[in-house]
Amino acid sequence: MGRAQEIVSIQAREIFGAKGYPGVEVEVITRNGARGAAVAVAGTSMGSLEAKFAYDPRTRLGGWGVKTAADNVNKILAPALIGLDSSHQARVDAVIIELDGTADKSKLGANATGSLSAAVLKAGAASLGIPLYQHIGGVNACTLPVPGIMTGRGSYRYGAGEEAGGKPTYAIMCYGFSSFREAAYAGWEIFAEYARILNRRFKLGFTMEHYSRQLLDTRIVEHDRELWDAMMEAAVNCGYEGKVCLQADIAAETYYDPEKKKFIGLFSEGEKSKEDLFRIYEEMIENYSFRIIEDPFPENDFESHARLTKKYDIDIVGDDLFVTNTERLRRGIETGAANSVLLKVYQKGTITEALEAVRFAYENGYRVMPCSSRGEGADIADYAVGINSGYLREGAIDATGNRLIAIESELGSRAVFAGEKGLRRIRLDSRK
């Protein structure tokens, strides 16, 4: 590549992300005028083993300020990257990794290194005049993932989940369709019907506006089973039975009390043992069409993840379990824990390291589920297509969905909707 792709400017600043948390935004400009910008922001629930974000002293923005991370980009990383070729991602990331020098990015912060790495990736694509998904995956990047539509969060008012910020998040995954656009439309219909059911059953006032504001925190039920019933009913009422399934992000770690060795307030009031949880998961899978369950047990409980994975051939996704870390994934493979990895692009600290984890997962028969909870925004659509992921977290009727509709149109006859093949086929014959 010539000098056209050379990085000539890097600027980082503190902004506010979509969820209200401060984030690091980095803008990279190349010699030919191409621009790439990316944002890294903390999520509601962060695993203790994730690469570390850099924050300001607690006296500033309640401890969430990230001016320190932005300064690390401007003062330490940017000078070393100016003049490098933006289209040579691995070379750029090697410099970032060397300058940080830690395994968990604790020196400069994964929000600094991740946002910068992603901004370079986008600038590199723009400088070459190709879409981001093609820059990531080449000419083979043509698979549109199965999307989900978030129906809300479960009941968490009773225990540790509320204090820790964790709560089950549910979605309806739309797979039985011929295109992404059809799947997204079905998601819209189902959510609208789900809102009507909740309004009627619990005298609420949910609308599509609530979805756009992500205000579906449902603290009105005695057990989340009532929400599962409503989700299933909505799918049937819309005529989509057999074309959709349910997904849950449990974040079990946030409910676990290590002293009591119990889960407090998960799914309903009271304490639950590991065996209690296992029986609930059996019910979810066998009676409620849950085919994707994320983090069903604490982040270091590989054995319980392996037990559930062995019994049911559905997608058991590791987020806090794997934290997009190849070594954690290696342990999961050795023990048979989970069979899918949640991809948060900034969770490891650079694009190269994240894609290495993706490649390692694929080589060992694991699926990858992209997620935008670290500030990736609609870019997660390009990552999903770029790695030919079979599905992604949510993404049916938001900015990500709009981007995927555009990609599907751009690909034309080359576009392939993952559909049923994007999910593992549920197997219940192991219940004997």
Q: What is the mean pLDDT of residues 78-84?
A: 98
Asked whether the predicted pLDDT for residue 400 surpasses 60, the reply is yes
Asked whether the predicted pLDDT for residue 164 surpasses 50, the reply is no
Asked whether the predicted pLDDT for residue 214 surpasses 60, the reply is no
- CA geometry: angle at 366 spanning 361 and 372, to 5°? 75
| Distance, CA of 430 to CA of 423 (rounded, Å) | 18
pLDDT tens digits for range 359-369: 999 999 999 99
CATH fold of 137-431 reads TIM Barrel (3.20.20)
Which of 47-56, 134-143, 229-238 comes out lowest in average pLDDT?
47-56
Asked whether the predicted pLDDT for residue 409 surpasses 60, the reply is yes
* Domains 3-129 and 137-431 equal at CATH topology level: no
HEC string of 236-284? HHCCCCCCEEEEEECCHHHHEECCCCEEECCCECCEECHHHHHHHHHHH
Instruction: State how far the alpha carbon of 207 is from the alpha carbons of 147, 159, 251, 276, in Å.
Output: 20, 28, 27, 35
pLDDT band at 218 (very low <50, low <70, confident <90, very high): low
| 120: helix, strand or coil | helix
At 430 the pLDDT is 43
Give the distance from CA 375 to its chain's centroid: 10
At 45 the pLDDT is 54
pLDDT tens digits for range 254-271: 899 999 999 998 998 889
Tokens of 128: 């070459």
| Superfamily of structural domain 3-129 | Enolase-like, N-terminal domain (3.30.390.10)
Give the distance from CA 261 to its chain's centroid: 28
Percent of the chain with pLDDT over 70: 89
Q: What is the mean pLDDT of residues 292-314?
A: 96
Asked whether the predicted pLDDT for residue 188 surpasses 80, the reply is yes
| Distance, CA of 335 to CA of 382 (rounded, Å) | 32
Q: What is the mean pLDDT of residues 306-319?
A: 95
pLDDT tens digits for range 372-381: 877 788 999 9
Residues 6+ positions from 20 with CB-CB distance below 8 Å: none
At 216 the pLDDT is 55
Neighbours of 49 (CB within 10 A): 16
At 44 the pLDDT is 52
Starting at the edge strand found earlier in the chain, the sheet holding 244-249 runs 367-370, 340-343, 315-318, 290-294, 244-249, 169-174, 146-153, 391-395
Q: Where in the chain are the domains?
A: 3-129, 137-431
pLDDT tens digits for range 7-41: 999 999 999 986 778 999 999 999 999 999 999 98
At 43 the pLDDT is 57
| Distance, CA of 149 to CA of 155 (rounded, Å) | 18
Tokens of 50: 């994730």
Contacts by 359-364, CB closer than 8 A, 24 or more apart: 360/326, 360/329, 360/330, 361/329, 364/329, 364/333
Mean model confidence pLDDT for the chain: 89
Residues 6+ positions from 165 with CB-CB distance below 8 Å: 44, 45, 254
Got the DSSP string for 307-362?
Answer: HHHHH--SEEEESTTTTT-HHHHHHHHHHT--SEEEE-TTSSSSHHHHHHHHHHHH
C-alpha torsion angle, residues 428, 425, 282, 201 (rounded to 10): -120
Percent of the chain with pLDDT over 90: 72
Which of 144-153, 213-222, 234-243, 401-410 comes out lowest in average pLDDT?
213-222
Asked whether the predicted pLDDT for residue 432 surpasses 70, the reply is no
Identify which of 266, 342, 380 has the alpha carbon closest to the alpha carbon of residue 47. Answer: 342
Asked whether the predicted pLDDT for residue 299 surpasses 70, the reply is yes
pLDDT band at 74 (very low <50, low <70, confident <90, very high): very high
Asked whether the predicted pLDDT for residue 163 surpasses 50, the reply is no
Asked whether the predicted pLDDT for residue 120 surpasses 90, the reply is yes
pLDDT tens digits for range 83-102: 999 999 999 999 999 999 99
At 20 the pLDDT is 77
Percent helix, strand and coil across the chain, each rounded to 5? Answer: 45, 20, 35
- 314 vs 347, higher pLDDT: 314
pLDDT band at 59 (very low <50, low <70, confident <90, very high): confident
Whether residue 168 contacts residue 409, with contact meaning beta carbons closer than 8 Å, is answered with: no
Asked whether the predicted pLDDT for residue 408 surpasses 60, the reply is yes
Whether residue 137 contacts residue 208, with contact meaning beta carbons closer than 8 Å, is answered with: no
| Distance, CA of 426 to CA of 420 (rounded, Å) | 11
Q: What is the mean pLDDT of residues 199-213?
A: 67
Q: Which amino acid is at 250?
A: I
